[in-house]
Structure 1
Amino acid sequence: MKFKQYQYLKQHLFEFTAPDELKNRYEDIPTRNLSPLVLAYVGDAYYHLYIRTRLLNFEQSRVHLLNDFSMKLVSATLQAQAYKAIKDDLTEDEAYVFKRGKNAKSHAPRVASVHDYHISTGFEAVLGYLYLNKDFTRLDELCEKSFIAVAQNLSQQE
Structure 2
Amino acid sequence: MKFESFQRLVAMMFEADDAGHLIERHGELTDYDIRQMNSLVLAYVGDAYFHLFVRTRLLSFDQSNVRALHAFSAQIVSAVWQHKAYLAIEPMLTEDEKAIYRRARNAKSHAPRSATVAEYHSSTGFEALLGSLYLRHETARLEELAEASFQAIAQAIMKDIHEKET
Is the pair's TM-score, using the shorter chain for normalization, greater than 0.5?
Answer: yes
Quote the Cα distance in structure 2 between the aligned partners of 1:24 and 1:153: 41
**C-alpha contact (below 8 Å) 2:31/2:136 kept by paired residues:** no
Quote the Cα distance in structure 2 between the aligned partners of 1:84 and 1:97: 15
Partner of 1:126: 129
Quote the Cα distance in structure 1 between the aligned partners of 2:69 and 2:28: 37
Partner of 1:156: 159
* Aligned counterpart in structure 1 of residue 95 of structure 2, from 72, 92, 97: 92
Amino acid in the other structure paired with 1:39: L
Q: CA deviation at 1:147?
A: 0.7
Q: CA deviation at 1:5?
A: 3.2
Give a deviation string over 1:23-61, Cα, whole Å, max 9, x none.
438853221210111100000000000000000111111
Amino acid in the other structure paired with 1:5: S
Secondary structure in structure 2 of the residue aligned to 1:37 = helix
Partner of 2:109: 106
Pairing 1:5-154 to 2, within 5 Å after superposition: 5-10=5-10, 12-16=11-15, 22-24=25-27, 27-154=30-157
Q: CA deviation at 1:20?
A: 5.8
**C-alpha contact (below 8 Å) 1:16/1:23 kept by paired residues:** no
Q: CA deviation at 1:17?
A: 10
Q: CA deviation at 1:21?
A: 5.9
Quote the Cα distance in structure 1 between the aligned partners of 2:24 and 2:117: 43
Secondary structure in structure 1 of the residue aligned to 2:131 = helix
Quote the Cα distance in structure 1 between the aligned partners of 2:57 and 2:28: 34
Amino acid in the other structure paired with 1:14: M
Q: Name structure 2 gaps, 5 residues minimum.
A: none
Quote the Cα distance in structure 1 between the aligned partners of 2:38 and 2:122: 16
How many corresponding residue pairs? Answer: 157
Amino acid in the other structure paired with 1:153: A
Cα RMSD for the two superposed structures: 2.0
Q: Name structure 1 gaps, 5 residues minimum.
A: none
Relative to structure 1, the CA distance from residue 85 to residue 31 in structure 2 (aligned partners, 3 Å threshold; closer, same or farther) is same
Quote the Cα distance in structure 1 between the aligned partners of 2:30 and 2:123: 29
Partner of 1:2: 2
Amino acid in the other structure paired with 1:96: A
Percent of aligned positions with the same letter in both sequences? Answer: 50
